[in-house]
């Protein structure tokens, strides 16, 4: 099966990740790729960080004694990885083999609900071109925090609401080479764009519950957006609402959409809940899904499949390959 159109066409690589016997991801909350195209799956199973090579061969795991509830990953430019732990309200900068270099937040201590203070169930992390650290603080706050590279809090912005600069669950965050900050304002169905100090610039609409963001390095990049499907009984099976992957240019113009957006599911070409995205040097896309968490809301009348797919690889099709698109 082929997803996408034009230059954004992908084949689905079934059973790409080769887990050790009797291991399970459970939910894969986020995914990242390093400069060697090794893939890091941040999961909610017994082994929080599971690392694969580009062919899906298991390399190692780590984080079993560190993380409480995986949520966000961001790959740094210096062979480090930033891990956002929703469960214990922290962001940790780690080496690629799991040594903690920096910890922001106090493990297990959450800020008061909607206080604006860091953190209450923080969601994701991004880096500015200068190495400043942005953290979206989303489930128990409506806030973005900016830290210096050494972990000093520099400023915060945002409050609950629907107006520009306000948030209704800031679920993901990314930053481009020019320093613009992009926030997936999930329950407001938009991505908001800010300058590096939190000044509102614009927003991208025509999205449904954007949960995952990924921008490749460089100026004027494209953005990969994971959109969650509807959960209300009245629109749960509505077409054209997701779950799906949307690819847009740096101004938010739609370039392609991937996935059967008629309520999602477990068949090829479908998603349950795309929660984290990364792209490797070949243009192939890795999608982490929180399928176990989302299933009861999306399919309340259907039994939970087990195992349930939570990590997919969409292999980029080279331009010279001619095939039918979906």
Concatenated DSSP letters of 301-312: TSPPPSS---EE
Return phi, psi of residue 159, to 5°. -155, 165
User: 3-class DSSP state for residue 181?
Assistant: strand
- Residue 322: pLDDT above 70? no
**Sheet arrangement for strand 200-204:** 170-175, 181-185, 190-194, 200-204
**Positive or negative, the Cα torsion across 31, 139, 160, 186?**
positive
Please list, in sequence order, all residues whose beta carbon lies within 8 angstroms of the beta carbon of residue 60, skipping any fewer than 6 positions away.
51, 97
Give tens-digit pLDDT for 120-142. 999 999 999 999 999 999 999 99
For residue 182, cis peptide bond before it (omega within 30 degrees of 0):
no
- The rounded distance, in Å, linking the Cα atoms of 25 and 23 is 7
Helices (H), the chain: 291-298
- Residue 39: pLDDT above 50? yes
- Residue 261: pLDDT above 80? no
- Residue 276: pLDDT above 70? yes
Classified by CATH at the fold level, domain 2-316 comes out as Neuraminidase (2.120.10)
Whole-model pTM: value is 0.95
- Residue 325: pLDDT above 70? no
User: 3-class DSSP state for residue 24?
Assistant: coil
Residue 110 and residue 90 in contact, taking contact as beta carbons nearer than 8 Å: no
Output the furthest CA–CA distance in the chain (Å, rounded). Answer: 55
- The rounded distance, in Å, linking the Cα atoms of 197 and 28 is 31
Q: What is the pLDDT of residue 181?
A: 98
Residues in the chain: 326
What mean pLDDT, rounded, does the chain reach? 94
Give tens-digit pLDDT for 140-186. 999 999 999 999 999 999 999 999 999 999 999 999 999 999 999 99
For residues 188-198, average pLDDT? 98
- The rounded distance, in Å, linking the Cα atoms of 309 and 264 is 12
- The rounded distance, in Å, linking the Cα atoms of 73 and 84 is 6
Give tens-digit pLDDT for 203-239. 999 999 999 999 998 888 899 999 999 988 888 888 8
Q: What is the pLDDT of residue 314?
A: 97
Return phi, psi of residue 291, to 5°. -65, -40
- The rounded distance, in Å, linking the Cα atoms of 185 and 169 is 6
């Amino acid at each position: 099966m082929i997803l996408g159109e034009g230059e954004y066409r992908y084949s689905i690589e079934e059973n790409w990740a080769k887990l050790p016997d009797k291991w399970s991801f459970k939910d894969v909350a986020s995914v990242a790729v390093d400069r060697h195209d090794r893939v890091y799956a941040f999961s909610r199973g017994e082994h929080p960080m599971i690392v694969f090579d580009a062919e899906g061969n298991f390399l190692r795991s780590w984080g079993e004694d560190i993380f409480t509830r995986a949520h966000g990953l961001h790959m740094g430019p210096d062979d480090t990885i930033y891990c956002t732990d929703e469960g214990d309200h922290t962001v940790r900068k780690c080496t690629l083999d799991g040594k903690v270099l920096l910890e922001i937040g106090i493990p297990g201590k959450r800020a008061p609900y909607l206080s604006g203070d860091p953190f209450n169930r923080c969601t994701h992390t991004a880096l500015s071109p200068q190495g400043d650290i942005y953290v979206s603080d989303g489930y128990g706050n409506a806030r973005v925090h900016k830290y210096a590279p050494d972990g000093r809090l520099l400023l915060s912005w945002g409050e609950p609401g629907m107006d520009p600069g306000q948030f209704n669950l800031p679920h993901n965050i990314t930053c481009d080479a020019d320093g613009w900050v992009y926030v997936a304002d999930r329950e407001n169905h938009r991505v908001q764009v800010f300058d590096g100090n939190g000044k509102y610039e614009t927003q991208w609409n025509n999205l449904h519950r954007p949960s995952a963001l990924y921008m490749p390095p460089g100026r004027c990049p494209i953005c990969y957006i994971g959109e969650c499907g509807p959960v209300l009984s009245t629109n749960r099976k509505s077409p054209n609402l997701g779950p799906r992957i949307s690819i847009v240019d740096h101004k938010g113009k739609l370039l392609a959409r991937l996935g059967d957006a008629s309520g999602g599911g477990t068949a090829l070409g479908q998603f349950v809940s795309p929660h984290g995205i990364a792209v490797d040097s070949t243009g192939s896309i890795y999608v982490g899904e929180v399928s176990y968490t989302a299933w009861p809301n999306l399919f309340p009348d259907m039994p939970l499949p087990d195992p349930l797919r939570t990590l997919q690889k969409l292999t980029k099709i080279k331009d010279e390959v001619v095939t039918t698109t979906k």
